[in-house]
Each structure stands twice: as structure tokens, then as C-alpha cells.
Structure 1
Amino acid sequence: MSRPPAKRVAESFTTMSELVMPNDTNPQDNLMGGNMLRWMDICCAICAGKHCARPVVTASVDNVAFNSAIRNGEVITLEASVTRAFNTSIEVYVEVFAASMQGTDPRRTHHAYFTFVALNKDNGSPVEVPQLLPLTEIEQQRYEAAMNRRELRLVLAGRMKPENAPRLKELFKN
């Protein structure tokens, strides 16, 4: 079976909005982190699933940055895009923006990288995914840096020995 054709980054992008309601908040009236992670995971899963046109499962989440509290009644917008496709896995970058219901006081509040594995619909085994064609300078930067992030994830998960991570070794030399 041959690998699916490559896709452009613009075809591998998802936007999602949510209204923060009282049930989503903690006693300080701020959005609970677990709810934020859930929405980030959903947005990224939709993005990854669209890219490979298959079911996907979350394999890892790294570098979640919680920069700003989000208050009850604010609207959040999540923007996810595939940064790189490997053999059977897909890395997705997500940014979260919050604003009032009227659109005032917008700010970036969170960002993270999620990794998904594409699955065969019949037996649930991993399948090859379409490669990614980055178009803009930022897409190219994220695409190239994805190999470093992948090596770090594999080393931290114990699936790769540090001495077998050439890109990470090169980073620490410089």
C-alpha cells in the first residue's frame, strides 16, 4: 500500500470557539485547566483527523503553556494546525485566544503541541499518514523544529536513548 498524497498546511487547519460557562470554572471563577486541555485535545484531534482522513488517538501532549486566566463568560477561540506528519503520527500545534463576548480585550492565553496516531478503521492498528507541505515561513520553521520536539518526546518517554538523538545532541553542542 502506498503512502497517501501530501497535503498543504492550509488544508490541515481547524478553528473552534467555546463560551466559558459557570460549570467550566473553579471557585475563583476562572476556567479550569482540565476543561481547557479537553477543548485543546478535541480541536487538535479534529485537525489531525482531517489531515489523515482517519480516526486518530492522542499519543502525547507537551509544552502546554498556561499564560493567562480565562474568566467565566469569556469566549475562547482555539486554532490548531498540523506542523508535521511522520510515519503514522501527526504533530499539531494549538493556540488559544480569549476575549469578552463582545470581542474586546483579546489575548493569547495558551499554546501546546499534541501528537496523534492515525488508526486503521477496521482493526485499530497504526497507518501511514499523508506528508505535510509547509507553505509560509512560520510553517516551515515549525515543520523543521518538529524533528527536535519528536526526538525529545521519544527520549523523555524512554523510547529512544539520548545518545541516539542526533538533533538533540547537535542542539546542546551549539
Structure 2
Amino acid sequence: MPQPKFARESVTVMTEMVLPNDTNTLGNLMGGRLLYYMDIAAAIAAQKHSNRIVVTASVDNVSFAEAVRLGNIVTLKAQVTRSFSSSMEVFIEVWAEDIPAGVRVSTNSAFYTFVAVDQTGRPIEVPGVIPETDEEKDRFASALRRRQLRLVLAGRMKPEDATELRAFLQVG
């Protein structure tokens, strides 16, 4: 098994300016464009952690809390929260900033899952994650429940086998 790495080693910060071709007819950043940015930032974090080629396996619920306007600066911060055999969960936070107005708002966050693959596309083992801060420890601890929920929803795990999720929900 590869040597574990600190969660902070995967931190990736990406910044983009919202230009006219990124917006819809209301002058807001298109949701698909934001998802594209999020996928790139999260993939870079996963690659930094695994030192491997990675592929997107899943994207959790993404809600758009605030509109991102033409001319805003979008900042994304991604970090691996936990790894499993060949997969990694990555948490992404997104902010929009109107620099002239001095306003910065949180627009959304999400969890992405990536799988590390070798040159032939086969899954390959990844390093464990060492959380240090309280926030990293909380995300690390809850990652197994999120993973089990993803697997149940995808039909790859039976609900009765999702022991961490069942304990969390206190389901018999």
C-alpha cells in the first residue's frame, strides 16, 4: 500500500473570471460551466493525492445557492477528505467575488469521487489520508457514511450492508 499522505497535501485552489461566453442569457455563470470548473479542481486534488491518472466516479448533490454574475471571480478550493482502496472523496467549496464591490459569497459545495487508474485504465491502490484539523477529521469520519450512501443509491451495496450509514440513521 502506498504511504499515507496528509489531507493538506492535496489542497488545490483554482480561480476563474466569468466571461460573456460562460454565461446564460441572464448574465449568470452557466451551471454546466461551474460543474466543469469543479470537476477540474477536484481532479487535480485527487491527482496530487494519488500521483495517478484519475477518473470521475460520482458527483454528489450540487445546489446553486447564489448566482455567479458576469465579471465575478470564481474561486474553488478542493481537498481529498478520505481515500478507500482505489477511490478518493474530494470536497470542493466555491465562492464568487465581485471585486469592485468588495463582496464575496459562498455559492456551493459538493463531494466528488475519483478513482485512480493505471495506464491501461484499471483501478489502482491509492494512499490513505491523514487528517489534521478538526474540519478534516470531521469530513474524514463522515466520508464512510457518504460512500455507503453513494453505493446504496447506485445499487452496488445492499442497504442492510451499509453498517455505518445504518448506525448514523439509527435504522434497525
Q: Does 1:58 align with 2:79?
A: no
Matching residue of 1:168: 165
Taking the aligned partners of 1:54 and 1:14, their CA distance within structure 2 comes to 16
**TM-aligned CA deviation for residue 102 of structure 1:** 4.0
Other structure's SS at 2:103 match: coil
Structure 1 runs of 4+ with >3 Å offset = none
Aligned counterpart, 1:87: 85
Aligned residue in 2 for 1:132: 129
Equivalent residue pairs, number: 171
Separation (CA, whole Å) in 1 of partners of 2:169 and 2:4: 32
Deviation digits for residues 2-45 of structure 1, max 9, x if unmatched?
Answer: x1100001101100000000100001100000000000000000
C-alpha spacing 1:132/1:103, structure 2 compared with 1 (3 Å): farther
Question: Is 1:10 aligned with 2:8?
Answer: yes
Q: Aligned to 1:63, what secondary structure does the other structure show?
A: coil
Change (3 A) 1:107 1:49: same
Listed one character per residue, the Cα deviations across residues 40-82 of structure 1 (whole Å, up to 9, x for unaligned) are: 0000000101110000000000021211000000001000000
Shift of 1:103: 7.2
**Alignment partner, residue 154 of structure 2:** 157
Q: What do you get for the CA RMSD once the two structures are aligned?
A: 1.1
Distance change in 2, residues 1:129/1:99 (3 Å): same
Residue of structure 2 in register with 1:143 after alignment: 140
Query: Residue 118 of structure 1 corresponds to which residue in structure 2?
Result: 116
User: Which residue identity does 2:98 align to in structure 1?
Assistant: S
- Alignment partner of 1:65: what SS? coil
Structure 1 unaligned segments of length 5 or more: list them.
none
- Cα distance between partner residues in 2 of 1:65 and 1:87: 29
Could you tell me which amino acid in structure 2 is paired with residue 160 of structure 1? M
TM-score by length of 2: 0.97
TM-score (norm 1): 0.96
- The equivalent of 1:108 in structure 2 is 106
The alpha-carbon distance between structure 1 residues 155 and 10, as it changes in their structure 2 partners (threshold 3 A), is same
Q: Does 1:41 align with 2:39?
A: yes
Unpaired segments of 5 or more residues in structure 2?
none
Deviates more, 1:92-101 or 1:53-62: 92-101
